[in-house]
Chain A
Amino acid sequence: MEFVSPEGLRLDGRRPKELRKLRIKLGSLDGTDGSAFVQLGNTKVLAAVFGPRGAPTGARSSAISCVIAVSAISVQGDRRSKERLGRQATEFSRALTNAMEQLVPADILKNACIDVHVQVLQADGGLFAACANAALLALANAGVPLRDICAACHTGLLESTALVDLSAQESMQQAPQAAILYECRTQSIAIMQTDNKMSTTALEELLELATEGCIALVTAMRQALISSTVQQLSTSAPHASAAQRRD
């Protein structure tokens, strides 16, 4: 298999450091406090936020909970492969929950809880990166205060070339792969998930590339957040004046 042709194109026509096409739509779900739809290539996920709201009585492990659900329509294949994906989703949900607890200020979460539900509508490569991005966008859309905007990005080292944002075809390979959730402001990695054996040099290379990818994604995500706010401002002028008055 040749994943990058000598002309420098990947199988789907991208160059090694090009992300897939990213589409973001905010607030598309009614009845939620915030929602985001993220499409990264053929991976489509929808995230919704409920809360912050009062914590139900009884002990809770976490004030924020993130559940990634792989919908039955998202993947082809038999039940077993879906179950496997489901298990991976559970694992990633935990990691994402932990990362979000760090991200949302403690005073918000003190006695309140936030539920983030991510539904995978279509699974292609970079599934969990898309889930994390959607979850974060939905939180921002819900107006939950965040310390920072993070982004997640998936990378892999195929035939000793580091590729960013692997497609399903690429991520099926038994090659070193790493996905990270990166906080731009602190320049730190909140989650790292690796697949297959790799050397430390390979990991370093992947992390560097993934960081670049995350920064690019953050830029796009910021843009989407800002432009949706700008749109709101222009369409709902009365609200805007109301806000002015409050000052």
Chain B
Amino acid sequence: MSDQVVCPGDRLVSAAEYSAGHGTHVRDGYVCASLVGVKQVTKTGGQKPLVEVIRRGSQPLVPKPGAAVTAKVTKVNPRLASAEILCIGTKPVDQPFNGIIRVQDVRATEVDKVEMYSSFRPGDIVRAEVLSLGDSRSYYLSTAKNELGVVYAKSVAGQPMVAISWQEMQCPQTKATEKRKVAKVTA
């Protein structure tokens, strides 16, 4: 097994024949390791095989494009909502990363009719997907999928609300409804 253990900088395979996966990078036409770990090659149908380096032990938790994250909304203005990324996948991070959900990334349909205030409120817990690395401050997050959006929100009265539609949540105490971009939580 030790012959498969590679170190950062080690040339793994030619980039022309393989595609670089997790824990690798491409340099000078070669896929090179970025991590200390075990080299693994996965055949993907028809395409170039994927080369990855799998690390033992803890993985560094950094949001990556496409990753599902759980974030807490901190500020909302008409153009965007700021959020702190609390979990990446199922793993909590030590210190929250900053993310923003821009108005055009809130939902997939009727994008120009989105109102930020009817989608998120500060304090909401949101499930989102990392769209890109964003600007120098924040990751860009997106909730433009059915299963993404607010999963937990408190009403004005301070009670956790229950989702009643994909656009509304209701306070169990006051029965008042509030607008949200609600995630469709499936079991």
Direct contact, A vs B (beta carbon within 8 Å):
yes
**Residues in chain A within 8 A of chain B (CB atoms):** 27, 33, 51-57, 105, 107-108, 110-112, 140-149, 184-185, 222, 225-230, 232-233, 236, 239-240, 243, 246-247
Q: Which of B36, B97, B139 contacts A225 (CB 8 A)?
A: B36
The answer to whether residues A147 and B57 also contact, given A54-B93, A230-B1 and a CB cut-off of 8 A, is no
Q: Which of chain A's residues has its CB closest to B74's CB?
A: A57
Does B90 have its Cβ within 8 Å of any Cβ on chain A? Answer: no
Q: From residue B131, how far is it (CB to closest CB) to chain A in Å?
A: 13
Cα A247 to Cα B4 with chains together (Å): 15
Listed stretches B27-35, B111-119, B150-158, B179-187; interface member: B27-35
Cβ contact within 8 Å between B25 and A147: yes
Q: Which residues of A contact B97 (CB under 8 A)?
A: 53-55, 111-112
Chain B residues with Cβ below 8 Å from A112 are 62, 97
Q: Nearest A residue to B84 by beta-carbon distance?
A: A54
Question: What's the minimum C-beta distance from A55 to chain B, rounded to whole angstroms?
Answer: 7
CB distance from B99 to the nearest CB of A (A): 8
Rounded to whole Å, the gap between the CB of B73 and the closest CB of chain A is: 15
Complexed CA–CA distance, A204 and B160 (Å): 70
* Chain A binder among B5-13, B101-109, B120-128, B168-176: B5-13
Interface size of B in residues (CB-CB distance below 8 Å): 44
The total number of A-B Cβ pairs within 8 Å is 121
Closest approach, in angstroms, between the C-beta of B89 and any C-beta of chain A?
Answer: 12
B85 / chain A contacts, CB cutoff of 8 Å: 54
Decide if B36 touches A107 in the complex (CB within 8 Å): no
Q: Contact check, A226 vs B7: say whether CB atoms are below 8 A apart.
A: yes
CB neighbours (8 Å) of A144 from chain B are 60
Cβ–Cβ contact A140 & B137, under 8 A = no
Verify A230–B9 contact, CB threshold 8 A.
no
- When distances are taken between beta carbons in the complex, the residues of chain A under 8 Å from B134 are 110-111
Cα distance A21–B57 in the bound complex, in angstroms: 29
Is the beta-carbon distance between B93 and A53 smaller than 8 angstroms? yes
Q: What distance in Å separates the Cβ of A201 from its nearest Cβ neighbour in chain B? A: 31
Task: Count chain B CB atoms within 10 A of each CB in A105, A185, A240 and give the residue with the most.
Answer: A185
A74 CA to B19 CA, complexed, in Å: 48
